[in-house]
Amino acid sequence: MDESRQKYVPHTLTTQEYYRQITRLKKEKNAVILSHYYMIPEIQLLIYEGGIADFLGDSLGLSLEATKVEQQNIVFCGVNFMAETAKILSPTKNVYIPDKLAGCSLASSITKEDVRNLRKQYPGVPVIAYVNTYAETKAECDVCCTSRNALSIAKSFKEDTLIFLPDKFMGENLRRRIYAETGKKLILWNGTCEVHEQFKSDSFTSLKAEHPDAKMLLHWEVPEQTVQENISEMGGILGSTNDIINYVSQSKDQTFILASECDLGSTLKRMFTGKEFITPCVKCSYMKMITLDSILRTLQSIGTAEERFYEIALESNIIKAASIPVKRMLQYN
């Protein structure tokens, strides 16, 4: 058992009873709930829809919301690197994550020592870190990026070779575009998202046969071969979560095949009620560690000795060093 995690017997409440207690505690504890698009539908439901989330968004969008909220306490319903980013951008706030074991295969694929070794191997080559990295890794990099602004950030460097880490599939997708547009070369790390890497070229064969008019919605982290084969056959978009949402909002098409985390499909169904979204449904096990029960525990802990099990604690020197590449990234939004 990880000592950073509280041992407890879960409550067994109905969803409405969780909502009632969470809503009451949010007010009592001066807290706000930020929900990532990959949370289960019961968590990502916004207050005006009858749920508990104050904001719903992607990792960067939520971290930016965290800088604007009045509340002192932020409960970040996502994974650790996201909550760390919120802490980096709002160091005077208390940021909590309902389960500290909510990791990420991409973020844990690279350490600060790996970045230092890359710099030795490729002296003078700028390092761009996808935001899906831990704070200590970010602190070693020149600039961070999200799937929303990776392309414009990579294009902004004058150097003709760049290091992009840690996602090799996103790097390969970017590399093709960047090389075509600027001639720049990317050196890649070997990390992968264990959700998006599962979308292979043939993952959609039966769905495409059943829905021949569907358009493909593919996240940047999906393998390049899957992207190439499916986009050229069906049309659609390769992009960030926000790009996918914007594409659907502007599209006259009715049916879409989603190659991203399964619960983004729930988000899209709620946002675009007349449209159909089909997905092979691959879930991120880290994101699913966040439950209504762990959110309730987190809120109950605020202001007590138990809050250490949930609060994001980063050393001030790490916050200072990591805030440089993170703030550079914000210039490209």
Q: Which residues bind ligand SF4 (CB under 6 A)?
A: 79, 104-106, 132, 193-195, 261, 284, 286-287
CA dihedral 19, 34, 281, 20 (to 10 degrees): 0
For ligand SF4, the closer CB: 140 or 261: 261
For ligand SF4, the closer CB: 18 or 57: 57
Determine the Cα–Cα distance for residues 81 and 298; give it in Å rounded to an integer: 18
In whole angstroms, the minimum distance from the beta carbon of 164 to ligand SF4 comes to 15
In whole angstroms, the minimum distance from the beta carbon of 269 to ligand SF4 comes to 19
SS3 readout for 270-295:
HHCCCCEEECCCECCCCHHHCCHHHH
For ligand SF4, the closer CB: 286 or 310: 286
In whole angstroms, the minimum distance from the beta carbon of 132 to ligand SF4 comes to 5
For ligand SF4, the closer CB: 19 or 130: 130
For ligand SF4, the closer CB: 153 or 284: 284
For ligand SF4, the closer CB: 206 or 285: 285
In whole angstroms, the minimum distance from the beta carbon of 198 to ligand SF4 comes to 10
Cα dihedral across residues 204, 235, 193, 57: positive or negative: negative
For ligand SF4, the closer CB: 90 or 146: 146
DSSP string, 118-135: HHHHSTT--EEEESSS-H
User: Do 77 and 34 form a contact (C-beta atoms < 8 A)?
Assistant: yes
Residue 176's Cβ-count burial label (10 Å; 0-12, 13-18, 19+) is middle
Determine the Cα–Cα distance for residues 84 and 86; give it in Å rounded to an integer: 5
Query: Which is nearest to 241 in space by CA: 225, 260, 255?
Result: 260
Determine the Cα–Cα distance for residues 129 and 323; give it in Å rounded to an integer: 13
Strand 161-165 relative to strand 127-130, pairing: parallel
Q: How distant, in Å, are the alpha carbons of 35, 300, 307 from that of 310?
A: 16, 11, 5
Residues 6+ apart with CB under 8 A from 276: 211, 254, 255, 256
In whole angstroms, the minimum distance from the beta carbon of 44 to ligand SF4 comes to 14
In whole angstroms, the minimum distance from the beta carbon of 283 to ligand SF4 comes to 9
In whole angstroms, the minimum distance from the beta carbon of 207 to ligand SF4 comes to 20
For ligand SF4, the closer CB: 54 or 261: 261
In whole angstroms, the minimum distance from the beta carbon of 33 to ligand SF4 comes to 18
